[in-house]
Amino acid sequence: MLPEVSAGTKREPLQIIGAGLGRTGTSSMAMALTRLGYRPYHWVEGMMQMGHTGLWARWYDAMHSGDEAGADAAFQTVAEAIAQSGFNATLDFPACMAFESFMKMYPNAKVLLSVRSSGQAWAASVLNGVIDLSWAAQFGFFGLTQRLRDLRTVILGGWPLLGIPPMGPGDLPDGPILEKVHDDWARRVKRAVPKEKLLVFEAKDGYGPLCRFLDISDADCPKEPYPHMNANVDSWWARRFGWFAVTCWIPNTMILLCAPFYCCWRCRRKQKAA
């Protein structure tokens, strides 16, 4: 279990910056860092528990429009919210997209780049899982409320920043595009981070390299197997949510929106018939 965060949690400076993309073992990494005494800020904590969706959406909007001042201000806001909530490590989307900004704010923090064994392996994981949520986010259901619009921005906002070309409604990146995204991102992080502050990590590496990188002694390094979160469970929920949003919520919403017009039409027909 990841730690619960209360409103009175002590403010923490960031010690670990996660630069790895989603689907690179970030859920397992969150469990491992928690085991080592850190408080990781992951997708679940940021979007679901803390309600930071709107903060990240403002940052994405500014980045997409080229508004550097707006992006800096939005980042400062979300970074302060993370610190005030007591987190001292970041992982996964959307925080990984801002790893360079976190480095500027916390120059003493170390950077973790979680990767898959290959771009092909990462692409397969994305296509078999969370891509369905990206597909669902393109439809009208996600425009019904401001919170859903913000969530859509966060879900799809990373695409342009990762070099994914513009696509038509309902279109998704294919395997070759995603393979390139994974490999290009890894190269970008390696160029941006000094070698002494960077650990390139695969889940199969286990606790050893992680403990050494974080200056944790062999005596204090866990002896149990490195955690392995069941990615298939996350994929199943992403698929079910995408399917439910498109096949159930959207049609039902359309019915509710059209119902008043239908009732008016029926009333007019009855009046004419009378």
At 158-214, the pLDDT tens digits run 999 999 988 777 788 999 999 999 999 999 999 999 999 999 999 999 999 999 999
100 against 135, higher pLDDT? 100
Query: What DSSP assignment string belongs to 128-144?
Result: TTTHHHHHHTTSGGGGS
* CB of 26 closer than 8 Å to CB of 90: no
At 14-53, the pLDDT tens digits run 999 999 999 999 999 999 999 999 999 998 777 777 789 9
Please report, for the chain, the start and end positions of each structural domain, with discontinuous segments joined by +. 16-128+145-229
Other Cβ atoms less than 10 A from the Cβ of 177: the count is: 16
Nearest Cα residue to 29 out of 197, 189, 180, 213: 213
Token pair of 164, please?
Answer: 């994914």
Token pair of 233, please?
Answer: 């469970």
Question: Under 8 Å CB-to-CB from 119, ≥6 apart: which residues?
Answer: 178, 179, 180, 181, 182, 183
Residue at 141: amino acid letter: F
| pLDDT confidence of residue 132 | 64
173 against 104, higher pLDDT? 104
In this prediction, residue 1 has a pLDDT band, given cuts at 50, 70 and 90, of very low
187 against 130, higher pLDDT? 187
State the Cα–Cα distance between residues 113 and 51, nearest whole angstrom. Answer: 25
Other Cβ atoms less than 10 A from the Cβ of 58: the count is: 19
State the Cα–Cα distance between residues 65 and 161, nearest whole angstrom. Answer: 12
* CB of 101 closer than 8 Å to CB of 19: no
Q: Which CATH number fits domain 16-128+145-229: 3.40.50.1370, 3.10.310.10, 3.40.50.970, 3.40.50.300?
A: 3.40.50.300
